[in-house]
Every structure is written in C-alpha cells, then in structure tokens.
A and B are shown apart, each in its own frame.
Chain A
Amino acid sequence: MEATQTQAQRQSVHETHHEQGPGFLRQYIFSTDHKIIGLQYAVTALCFLLIGFFLMCLMSWSKAYDMAAVPVLGPLLETLLGNAAAEGKISPDLYNSFGAMHGTIMVFLAIVPMVFAAFGNYIVPLQIGAVDMAFPRINMASYQFYFLGGVVMLTSFFIPNGAAQAGWTSYSPLATVIETDGQTFWLIGMVLLITSSLLGAVNFIATIIQLRAPGMTWMRMPWFVWVQFVTAFLLLLAFPPLEVAALMQLMDKLVGTSFFLPTGMALTSGEFATAESAAASGGGSALLYQHLFWFLGHPEVYVLILPAMGIVAEVISNHARRPLWGYRTLVYSVLAVGFLSFIVWAHHMYLTGMGTFISAFFQTTTIIISIPSVVILTCLFITLWGGSIRINTPPMLFALAFLPMFGIGGLTGLPLAFNFADLHLHDTYYVIAHFHYVVAPGTIFGLMAGIYFWYPKVTGRLMNDYWGKVHFWASLLFMNIVFMPMFYQGMKGMIRRQHDGGAGYSSARNPDGIGGLDDTVMEFNTVILMGALMLGLAQIPFILNFFLSLKYGEKAASDNPWRATTLDWQTPTPPPHGNFRQPPEVVRGPYDYSLPGAKEDFVPQNQPA
C-alpha cells in the first residue's frame, strides 16, 4: 500500500514536471488545467470586485455631495474620462454610467465569475474526484471570452460619450436612444460574457454528470456540487433569451430596426427622432425587452446566491463537526429553487401595468420560491444544533454572519413580492437595500468564507487568523452601516438611480410639498458614504493578508488542516496536475463528521469503514 502510493506520487510529480515543459505561458496563461483556470478567474474577478467598489464610492460621493468636485481623485477622473467629469465633478451622465457599470461589473464580472467559475472550477472536480473538467480546452476558452468581455466593458469608459448609462438592466427604449456608443460596447461585452457562461455551464454539467469518481453517487455528492450543478443549469437555460435581447437591441442601435421602439414613441430630437418605420410595421414592444431581460435576470440572482450558500454549508458542517442536517431536503430544495426561478421573473415588472391574473400568478410563484430558501436556511441553522462549533475562525465567522445577513435580505424580499406593497417600494432604495443584503453581506461573505477556507488547499499556507478576524468584524459593521439606512430611505420613498441622492425631492428643496424626503433621509447619504469608505479600508487587511500569506503565511500542518471529509481535502497540497495520487474510490456520504465509534471526529469519503 505504502509503496504503491509513493510510486503513484512519483509518477504524478513526474507528470507535473512534464507539464511544466511548455513554459510559463502554457502553464499560467493558456492553461487547460481546471485549477489554474479557477485561479485566473478568481484573481480577475477580485480585481473587478475592487473596480465595482470604486465606482460605487464615487457614486456615494455624488449622492452625498451633489455636484461637488471629488476630493483627491477629481483631477484624475477628469483626465481619464474627459468632459463627463469636468472639474472633477460627477455629472449626471457619469453617475448613470457608474451606476450601470457598477451593477454590470458586480454581477457579471465579479460575483458570478468568482462564486461560480472560480470556486466551481477549482473545487468541483476535486470534490467529485475527477482528474479535470470534461472539456479542458472549452474551459480555457470560457475564461478567454470572459476576459475579453471584461476588456470590452472597461474600454467603454474611455470612448467619447462614456460607458452605458441605462442601468444594468438596459431597458429599451432608453438604452437605444441614449447617445453613447457605450451601450453598443455593453451589448457586445454581454454577448461575450454570455458565451463564456454558456461554455462554462456546459462544461460544469458534463463534468458533474460524467466524471464522478467510482462510488460518488448522486446522493453522495457534497451539497456544494449540487448547488453548482443547479447554478450551471440556470446559466445554461436562462442566458440565451438575454442574448436574444442583446442581439435585438444591437440591431435597433446599429441597423435601424425597431424591435423595442414602439409606435407612438415620438422623440423630438436625435438619431431616433421619428419612428416612421416603426409605424409602418406595427412597431416594437418595449415590454418585450423587459421580459427577455428578467427571464435571465431572476435566475441570475440565484446564480449569485446559490454557490455562496453552498460554500457556507461546507464551512458550517465542517466547523460544527456535524453532517449537514437534512441533506436530502437540501438537495430537493435547491432543485426546487432552480426550477421555480424560471417562472417568477415578472415580479420585477409589477408596475408596468399588470392585470390581476398574471400578477397573481407571478406573486404566487415568487412566494413559493421563498419557501425552499427558508428551508435551506433552516437546515443550515439546525445543522448547528448538537455540534461542537469552532466559531472563532475567519471562514466560520463569515459563514455564520451570512445567515442573518441573507436572512435580512431574503425577508425584505417578501414585501417586494406582494405587488400591493411593491406599489410603494418599487424602484426605491428599499429594493437596493434588499438585494444588497443578499449579494453584499450575503454573497460576498460567502465567498470570503470560501477564500479563507480553501486558501490552505490552494497555497499550502493559512491566511493570518488575527487579521482575518479584523477583516470580518470591520466588514460586518460597515456593511450594515452602509445598507441598513437604505431601508429607511426607501420606505420614505427615495428613488434609486438619482445622482443627487434624492436632493431634488427633499423637503428642504420643496418646503411646501407634502411627502418630500426629510432631513434624516438626506443625512443618511453622508452616513452611507462614510460607511462605504470605511468598508473599503476594512478590505486592506484582507488584501494584504491575501498576498502576503502566499509567502509568509503559516504552513498548513497537513493536506487537510480543517480535518474535512470531502475529497478536495484528500489530495496533495496544492493538488498536482491530475489531482489525485490514486483514483479515489468513494465509499460513504460527504459529511461523516463525529461518527459514533470512529477514531477521529471525521471520516473522509474515500476511507473504508
């Protein structure tokens, strides 16, 4: 036994050397190894996360100090972006660009690539005991399309009229008639990103279906793998309609069609001034775009959250030293969420004028989809019961904080789901607060948990514990300082996407108008700005920790420092090309922690009884 293992080890070392032959480019840039590709995704996505954050800071500045020059960065902005940032001020156009690009970058270039592509690429093949992804070259192409899409998106900031300005949703007709080529860049960028996601999704699903190690039956897969499986299906089937929408909007912009420009639209100036052609053919439909967009848009938000939930589940089970409670229920719940998320989309369109029946349908499905989410969260909660919880490590702190934070975000989805309440809350900061609670302290905390958790597997070193905790507590505090006031603002009726933070509607501006925004609402803008800046500072320990630990971090004591059961921890550290010393043979479920009668408090999946 011993002898064969060392032999296999030698062989795998030999293979790694063999791979190194082609040199740096082949190994790190045009690699087909799922682990390298995962890391490429991770690093690129984290950079985009930072960019998205900077954009948001500038927006927050604009909201708090409307049309005041941006301190420190003002001149830089002016040189980079030209007229839109004249005198270092953020013009409404620029604010709208930043808003659209913050949303786009965060969703499509930061979070999805991070939680789905990066974690999925690195972890999924390891967890199912595969040697690589099913289609390594397609995997590489997927990253390249992503990268290209990112480049196109970023380039659009520097073209004459600046980047897209119609929100991340790019509703037509606004997106079509706005006079900037940024929208064209946006659309082309989106087509590239969609291509990337489709290739990735095909690969993930095929890998999970085909490359599970012997004994890795469906119900022995770690829940994280299930989650990625469902997520991949969401991407696979929901993205194409958005691609259709993007192509049609592109046609409207470039070729002069009017898919989304209805008859009776009467722009009195500009390129699209009269819609004569539209009139002749019956014109287009503005709402069609919204249907196509939200058909993707809603599944997309579950793409953001599900992988994060998966990470949190792994960490919680491991740190509570207990099996996930209700594994089967969890699996069925995530399948249910995936299925239902295709038929709830129009809850984003309640106020476009919906009749009783169709809105009753979408309200009902929306409420139904909240049930499996509750079930998932409940299972995670109950997992803690009877555990031996190691609270005080960075991954566990982030994972635990995820629960109430996602709870707040999810629960505030409920008033939005009932359209009678949405009537008041639609397009206010309440919505902004709702979804940021799910994506920022939710998903970002989930991915932080994942980074701290798997760092030792990837690098062989642990991240610094103390600074990890500093990072956590500061992030938790400032996230809440940033987003909690937004509920209040939204309830008061502060509308989103306003570069002056609602000042135009404030009672200070219109003292005799009833229902203007009161002073508290306006003052919160400053609080949010401060909170956001501090939140940024709070990331510095993380960034330093992340890079410095590569070199100076404490060496992990073993290949399995968290004493975990899943296969990803049963490989050498870092996993070599081909991942496993010996083809693993799975003999048990994924979470055999604290098994009565076992020697240790964990039994790896490939360890015979």
Chain B
Amino acid sequence: MEIPYVTQPRRDTGLYNAKVGIWLFLASEVMLFGGLFASYIMLRVGAPEGTWPTDLLDVPIGTINTVVLILSSVTVVLAWSALKLKNFKQYRRFQAVTILCAVTFIVIKSFEYREKFTHYDVVLVTGERVDGHLKERGEDEQGEEYLVLSHPVSYPAVNGIAYRPEAVREQKKSGQIDADRRIAQSEVKSIKNWSPAANTYFAIYFTMTALHALHVIAGALVIAWIWGPGASLWKTDPERYINRVEVSGLFWHFVDLVWIFLFPVLYLL
C-alpha cells in the first residue's frame, strides 16, 4: 500500500504531506532563531552601560547581501509560478538565478568574515586603543615585532568600546582617516582580532550569521538538487515535482525572512 497524500492534498486539511512537514519544521526553526534573538536581546540589555559595540559592520555590504537574498526569494516564487504554467525552461532560468544568488551571498559573506578576522584591536600601554585592518606584520631590524594597521581608529581604552563611533565620526570630520599606523610590540598591552572571542557582540554576530549561512547553503543544495539531478521527476510525476519546488521554496523564503531581521539587528542597531 502506498502512503497517501504525497502529491494530492488531503480533503479535510487541504494540504499534502510534505507541506505539513515543512511548516512544522519551520515552526521549530522559528523557535531556533527565536531563541537566538531572545539571547541577543538578553545579552544586549544585560551588558553594562557603554560596553555594547555598534557600527562595527560594513553596512553597504550588508545591504547588498540583503538585496541579493530578496532577489533570490522572488526568483524562487517566479520559478514555481513558471512550473505551474508548465514552463519548465523558464523555471530553470529563474531557479538558476536563485542558486547564483545563494552563491553570491555566501561568497560576499565569507569575504566579510575574512575582513573581520584580519581586523585587529590593540590596547596600548598608554591606555589608547587602536583598531584597524592588519596590513603588515613582521620584525624590524632590531628584531622587534611590529604590525601595521590600515584605516586605524583610535580612542581611549577606558569604558570599553563605547567611544569608538564617536572617534570614527571625529576622524571623518578631520579627514585623516587613511594614514596607516605602525605599532611596535613594546607599545602593546593586549591584542586580539575581531573573532567570535573578541567580545559578546561578535560572538553572537558570528553565531547567528554562521547558523544562517548554514541554512543558506543547505537550502541552496536542496534547490540545486531539485533543479539538476532531481529534475527527472518532472517527466514522471510533475505534480510531485512542483510540490518539491514549493516546499524547498518555503524553506528558502524562511531563510530570507531570518536575514531580513538579522540585517538591521546586527548591522544597524
């Protein structure tokens, strides 16, 4: 005996199995990301005054990625509509754009990660704090280690990172942003890069975005599989094929939806 309602909706619920399944799965995903958002808020409101960093991420890049994901979301629905109209070619084209967008998103994201990992945050013995992109690291003639930071920002180390945005603004006004800065080992009190361990903000940023990126990758793989190797189903059981596209699409929209919240929360606030 076959399992019923694999393609056709059940009368009283109006749904086919996989659609019930994906929505249930999404419900648990809501709780997963919901738990993370709740944690984010708790950590943020619980942080002592002036210690929660802001303005550390690259807003233009984040915006581009947002647009990329939105675009991919619309191509997914358009692809599905095309299938509904029995236009397989068009479906393929739209869905190819989707996959391309996914790849773009991940590539951009990994550059962004790299950028952060090579961004160094140095507290000097003088009590000054400097951070900037690591340009060069080495030993000078005396055998002393040094590093060179490009686009450095400097501000007083007391009171954590709260002064940074102000310092950036001042620098922009005074126009001396681009001077690289060379720091010798002897001047350094402590040094770390912008990795998850840098502070709780980066910790939650990396955790949330990495988990989201994993979802993007997983979703893209599924969509690609249906697009490529799985497409033979279109010939044998088109209804079921359309269902698969719809279900994977629902997941994809959810991933987009999460990003719509992640973007302002992490980049802008």
Which residues of A are in contact with B by a Cβ distance under 8 Å?
15, 130-132, 134-136, 138, 198, 201-203, 205-206, 209-211, 236-241, 243-245, 247-248, 251, 255-259, 263, 276-285, 288, 291-292, 295, 578-580, 583
Q: Is the CB of B51 within 8 A of A282?
A: yes
Q: Among A198, A206, A281, A282, point to the contact of B28 (Cβ < 8 A).
A: A198
A-B contact pairs, 27 of them (CB 8 A): A132-B3, A135-B18, A135-B21, A201-B24, A202-B21, A206-B17, A210-B10, A210-B15, A236-B28, A237-B28, A240-B29, A240-B31, A240-B35, A241-B32, A241-B35, A243-B35, A255-B195, A255-B197, A263-B48, A277-B198, A281-B198, A282-B48, A291-B42, A295-B35, A579-B1, A580-B1, A583-B1
With a cutoff of 8 Å between Cβ atoms, the chain B residues found around residue A257 in the complex are 196-197, 200, 203, 207
Complex contacts, B24 vs chain A, CB 8 Å = 201-202, 205-206, 236
For the complex of A and B, the 7 pairs showing the least CB-CB separation, nearest first, are: A282-B47, A281-B199, A256-B197, A257-B203, A244-B35, A241-B35, A240-B32
Q: How far is the CB of A392 from chain B (nearest CB, A)?
A: 39
List, in ascending order, chain A residues with CB within 8 A of B2's CB: 131
* A292 close to B28 (CB less than 8 A): no
Confirm or deny: B211 has a beta carbon within 8 angstroms of a beta carbon on chain A: yes
Bound Cα distance from A279 to B190, whole angstroms: 14
B53 at the interface (CB under 8 A from A): yes
Quick check: B43 and A210 within 8 Å, CB to CB?
Answer: no
Report whether B200 and A282 are in contact in the complex, using a CB–CB cutoff of 8 Å.
yes
A interface secondary structure, majority: helix
Given contacts A131-B3, A236-B28, A237-B28, contact A205 B43 (CB under 8 A): no
- What is the number of residues of chain B that contact chain A, defined by CB distance less than 8 Å? 49
- Count chain B CB atoms within 10 A of each CB in A239, A243, A280, A580 and give the residue with the most: A280
> Residue-by-residue, is B180-192 near A (CB-CB < 8 Å gives 1, otherwise 0)?
0000000000101
Cβ-defined contact, A244 with B201, below 8 A: no
Contact partners of A251 in chain B: CB under 8 A: 196, 203, 207
Given contacts A241-B35, A244-B35, contact A280 B199 (CB under 8 A): yes
B197 and A247 within 8 A (CB): no
A241 contacts across to B, CB distance below 8 A:
31-32, 34-35, 38
What are the residues of chain A within 8 A of B52 when measuring CB–CB?
Answer: 281-282
A283–B20 CB distance below 8 A: no
Query: Beta-carbon contacts of B1-42 to A below 8 Å, as 1s and 0s?
Result: 111110000100101111011001101110110111011001
Question: When the two chains form their complex, are residues B46 and A282 in contact, meaning their CB atoms are under 8 A apart?
Answer: yes
B108 within 8 Å of A by Cβ?
A: no
Residues of B within 8 A of A134 (CB): 3, 17, 20-21
Closest B residue to A239 by beta carbon equals B28
| A288 & B43 in contact (Cβ 8 Å cutoff) | yes
Residues of B210-226 contacting chain A, CB below 8 A: 211
B248 to chain A, nearest CB (A): 15
The listed residue with most A CB atoms (<10 A of its CB), out of B24, B38, B196, is B24
Contacts between chains A and B (CB distance < 8 A), count: 153
Whether B199 pairs with A288 at a CB distance below 8 angstroms is: no
Chain B interface (Cβ within 8 Å of chain A)?
Answer: 1-5, 10, 13, 15-18, 20-21, 24-25, 27-29, 31-32, 34-36, 38-39, 42-43, 46-48, 51-53, 160-161, 190, 192, 195-204, 207, 211
Q: Which residues of chain A are within 8 angstroms of B211 by Cβ–Cβ distance? A: 247
Whether A281 and B47, one on each chain, are in contact in the complex, defined by CB atoms closer than 8 angstroms, is yes
- Contact call B192/A236, Cβ cutoff below 8 A: no
Q: How far is the CA of A279 from the CA of B28 in the complex (A)?
A: 34
How far, in Å, is B14 (CB) from chain A's closest CB? 11
Residue in B5, B25, B34, B197 whose beta carbon sits within 8 Å of that of A202 in the complex: B25
Q: What residues of chain A lie closer than 8 Å to B39, measured between beta carbons?
A: 244, 248, 259, 288, 292
Contact status B3-A136, CB under 8 Å: yes
Residue picked from A278, A283, A580, most chain B C-beta under 10 Å: A283
Q: Which residues of B contact A244 (CB under 8 A)?
A: 32, 35-36, 39
Q: How far is the CA of A248 from the CA of B38 in the complex (A)?
A: 13
Give CA–CA (A585, B203) in the complex, Å: 56
Cβ contacts under 8 Å, A130 to chain B = 3
Interface-centre pick from A131, A203, A247 (highest chain B CB count, 10 A): A247
- The reply to whether B21 and A277 contact each other, CB–CB distance below 8 Å, is no
With A131-B3, A255-B196, A292-B39 in contact, is A285–B46 under 8 Å at CB?
A: yes
Asked whether, in the complex, the Cβ of A211 is within 8 Å of the Cβ of B5, the reply is yes
**Which residues of chain B are near A247, meaning CB under 8 Å?**
207, 211
Q: Closest B residue to A204 by CB, please name it.
A: B24
Among the interface residues A131, A238, A256, A282, which one has the most CB atoms of the partner chain B within 10 A?
A282
CB distance from A303 to the nearest CB of B (A): 14
Q: How far is the CA of A248 from the CA of B203 in the complex (A)?
A: 9
- A409 to B194 alpha-carbon distance, docked (Å): 51
Q: Which of B3, B35, B46, B51 contacts A292 (CB 8 A)?
A: B35
- In the complex, what residue of chain A is closest to B51 when comparing beta carbons? A282
Q: Which residue of B lies closest to A295 (CB)?
A: B35
Contact B53 A277 (CB under 8 A): no
Q: How far is the CB of A112 from chain B (nearest CB, A)?
A: 16
Residues of A within 8 A of B190 (CB): 276
Report the nearest B residue to A133, measured CB to CB. Answer: B3
